[in-house]
Structure 1
Amino acid sequence: MKSQEKVFSRKSAPERSARMVETIYGCKWSLTVYQLLANGINRPGEMVRSVEGLSTKVLNECLRKNIQFGILERQTFNEIPPRVEYHVTEFGGKFLRIIDALEALQDEIDDDE
C-alpha cells in the first residue's frame, strides 16, 4: 500500500498580528482607550480625567504602543498651549472589528457556562 504524500505543512500563528493582539490585551488600558475614542474623548488630559486609576504615564505608554502598531495616529496642532489628539487609523478600524469579534465570542462562552 502506497502512503499518501504529505500536502500540508505545520500551520503556525501569524507572528506579527498574534503579537499585536497579545500586546493590546496585555495592556489593561488599551480597550478603555478605544472606548474613550469611540465616545469622542481623544485628548490625553481628558482621557486621564475620565478614567479612575489611569495615570498620564501609563496612558502615554499605551498610546505609544498603539501608534507603533498603526492602530492609532497622533495629531499635533501648532497652537499655544500645544494640543494633541489621537484618532483610530483605517487599519485600527479593521483591528477593532477583530477585538469586537473576540469580545462577542467571550460573551457567547460566558452565556454557555
Structure 2
Amino acid sequence: MRDHGGPGDVFLADCPARLAVEVIADKWSVVVVYGLSQGPRRHGELIELIGGISKKMLTQTLRRLQRYGLVDRQAYAEVPLRVEYTLTELGQSLIDPIDTLTRWAENHGEALLVAESAPE
C-alpha cells in the first residue's frame, strides 16, 4: 500500500502539487497557456485564437494564471492602452507537458466521442 504523506502528494488537500494540478486543470488554463506559447498576445488576439471562450472568461483565466505566476501582463503607456500577455518562465515550463497532452488528445479525441455516445 502506498504511503500518502510525503511531499508532492496530490492526495493531500494542502499539497502544493495538488494546487498545481487544480490551476492547470481548469477548463481554459491549458488552452490559454498554449495560446501564449508562441509569444506575447493581446486579449483580442487570444479571443480570436481560442474558439468558444468569452471575453469575461478569458479575463478571469488570465488573472488566475497571473496570480499563480504563469502569465505576465505588460501594459504599455500608449493611446489607446496596449496590454500584452506573455508566459513567465514558470508558464514556459508547461509547454512540453501541454504538447504531450495535446498529442494525446488529437490521437484519442475520437475514441472519447465514441465512448461518450455508446449506450450504457
Q: TM-score, normalised by structure 1?
A: 0.70
* Matched residue type, 1:37: L
Q: 1:96 to 1:9 in 2, by over 3 A?
A: same
Q: 1:104 to 1:78 in 2, by over 3 A?
A: closer
* Matched residue type, 1:93: Q
Quote the Cα distance in structure 2 between the aligned partners of 1:37 and 1:19: 22
Aligned residue pairs: how many? 101
| Deviation sequence 1:7-50 (CA, Å, 0-9, x none) | x8842516223212222212x11121122212346110111122
- How do 1:94-113 residues align onto structure 2 when only pairs under 5 Å count? 94-100=93-99, 103=101
- Tell me by how many angstroms 1:51 deviates: 2.4
Moved over 3 A (4+): 95-101, 104-107
Q: TM-score, normalised by structure 2?
A: 0.67
Q: 1:19 to 1:67 in 2, by over 3 A?
A: same
Preserved contact between residue 66 and residue 73 of structure 2 (Cα < 8 Å): yes
Farther-moved stretch of structure 1 (64-73 vs 89-98): 89-98
Q: Which residue of 2 aligns with 1:60?
A: 59
Residue 11 (structure 1) aligned with residue 6 (structure 2): yes
Higher relative helix content: 1
Question: Which runs of 5 or more residues in structure 2 are unaligned?
Answer: 112-120
* Matched residue type, 1:54: I
Report the RMSD for the aligned CA atoms in angstroms: 2.9
- Tell me which structure has the larger Cα radius of gyration: 1
Quote the Cα distance in structure 1 between the aligned partners of 2:5 and 2:103: 26
Residue 23 (structure 1) aligned with residue 56 (structure 2): no
Query: How many percent of aligned residue pairs carry the same amino acid?
Result: 32
Q: Which residue of 2 aligns with 1:92?
A: 91
